[in-house]
Amino acid sequence: MPSIEHDFLTSSKKLFAYYKKLGDEAMAQLTEGQLFQQPNLASNSISLIVSHMSGNMLSRWTDFLTSDGEKTWRNREREFEENYRSREEMLRAWERGWECLFSALESLKPEDFAKIIYIRNEGQTVMEAIQRQLAHYPYHVGQMVYQAKVLSGLDFKSLSIPKGNSELFNREKFSKEMERRHFTDTL
């Protein structure tokens, strides 16, 4: 019988995969130049957001249960300054971060969820640490999607329910039997 921990982990994996997919699809709609375009001096380009997210993921999820999530080798400030030389280099960093995250999640067992892990010496349960990142990464993916919409203009292909299609979308959803399922199962 599934436990709360099992259900939470399964749902968390699906949510992380969903937000990765949104980031993937937003970036795929842009030219290489647009990925490196900084909206203004107070904002980050998509490539800098990727740099930050990848750095955060590698730091947080490497040795997740056994070492502080803010690794001594991480240089957070540089994540917002350095840029990649190409789309390919940026996407390799993006994938490396996500692979580290998913690998750490795959290694978790139900009994791990009550363990305390640390980020900058602040203790939290494994479940709280996962929730923390489920708030952090979608925040940045939302920034990426917004920038992709602005940069693509009317050419942007919606990553959710396109404007004007809510009624059709709901009609299709309500035509199915009521059952327990995750909203990402059909994406």
Tens-level pLDDT at each residue, the chain (187 residues):
578 899 999 999 999 999 999 999 999 999 999 999 999 989 999 999 999 999 999 999 999 999 999 999 999 999 999 779 999 999 999 999 999 999 999 999 989 998 999 999 999 999 999 999 999 999 999 999 999 999 999 999 999 988 888 998 889 888 888 888 888 887 7
> Angle, nearest 10°, between helix axes 46-61 and 87-107?
30
How far is 54 from 100, CA to CA, in rounded Å? Answer: 9
Q: CA dihedral defined by 72, 77, 78, 79, rounded to 10 degrees? A: 90
Burial class of residue 11 in the structure, from the number of CB atoms within 10 Å of its CB (0-12 exposed, 13-18 middle, 19+ buried): middle
pLDDT on residue 77: 94
Task: Specify the CATH number for 4-159; select among 1.10.1060.10, 1.10.10.10, 2.60.34.10, 1.20.120.450.
Answer: 1.20.120.450
* Phi then psi dihedrals of residue 133, to 5 deg: -75, -30
pLDDT on residue 187: 72
pLDDT on residue 82: 75
pLDDT on residue 169: 87
pLDDT on residue 1: 59
pLDDT on residue 183: 84
Confidence (pTM): 0.93
